[in-house]
């Protein structure tokens, strides 16, 4: 009952957001829906997934397309060193930038997106990458700073082949989406057996 109350207050007022994330533990799709309802970003498309602990410093400078999936990554909208520089040199400087993430983009865990960057459409940013410049359409980037390591369409073909070779492929094909709780126990069991045999 308390979870329903916290979620209701968070969605209606924007208050109790911390408790909503901590106690209700929304999945990425629900949390993106919450952020969309609260007008958190400059704009956000449909079918997005944003993990609750994703760090977005300046959401009003961020534009997200459709089917954008953000894990526990960081999106920066400003250069934090400005405050120190202004005091150190008695200046009034500013350094900010928009971030545009186009349709069909996945940003991996721990990745950092710097201000002034545009990503995609149809792109993957690997876990831990630091994106300092635009990521082209149909591109996969990784590393520090992030560099192109492949093309998305080639990666999709590789994954289709690999998926077809897994003994649990028939379960994957039965799923209605990315996750099906009724199939998950059997899927985990088959994967564990495949990875480790019957050892304990």
Question: Kind and range of the H or E element at 64?
Answer: strand 62-64
Residue of 39, 78, 102, 109 marked catalytic: 78
Kindly state the tokens that stand for 7: 């979620």
22's tokens:
């901590």
Backbone angles phi, psi at 149, to 5 degrees: -120, -5
Q: How many other CB atoms are found less than 10 A from the CB of residue 15?
A: 11
Tokens of 157: 């073909």
* Known catalytic membership, residue 109: no
> In the numeric block, which tokens belong to residue 124?
């993957």
Apex 55 CA angle, 5 and 40, nearest 5: 55
Q: Minimal CA–CA distance to 101: which of 127, 74, 120?
A: 120
Catalytic residues: 78
């Amino acid at each position: 009952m308390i979870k329903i109350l916290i979620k209701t207050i968070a969605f209606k007022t924007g208050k109790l957001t911390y408790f909503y994330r901590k106690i209700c533990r929304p999945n990425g799709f629900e949390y993106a829906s919450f952020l969309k309802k609260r007008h958190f970003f400059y704009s956000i498309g449909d079918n997005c997934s944003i993990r609750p602990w994703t760090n977005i410093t300046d959401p009003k400078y961020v534009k997200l397309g459709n089917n954008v999936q953000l894990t526990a990554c960081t999106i920066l909208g400003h250069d934090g060193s400005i405050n120190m520089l202004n005091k150190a040199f008695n200046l009034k400087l500013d350094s900010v930038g928009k971030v545009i993430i186009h349709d069909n983009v996945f940003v991996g865990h721990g990745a950092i997106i710097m201000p002034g960057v545009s990503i995609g459409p149809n792109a993957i940013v690997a876990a831990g990458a630091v994106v300092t410049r635009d990521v082209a359409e149909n591109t996969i980037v990784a590393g520090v700073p992030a560099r192109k390591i492949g093309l998305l369409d080639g990666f999709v073909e590789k994954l289709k082949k690999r998926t077809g070779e897994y003994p649990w492929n028939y379960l994957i094909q039965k799923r209605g989406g990315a996750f099906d709780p009724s199939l998950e126990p059997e899927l985990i069991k088959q994967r564990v057996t495949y990875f480790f045999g019957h050892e304990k």
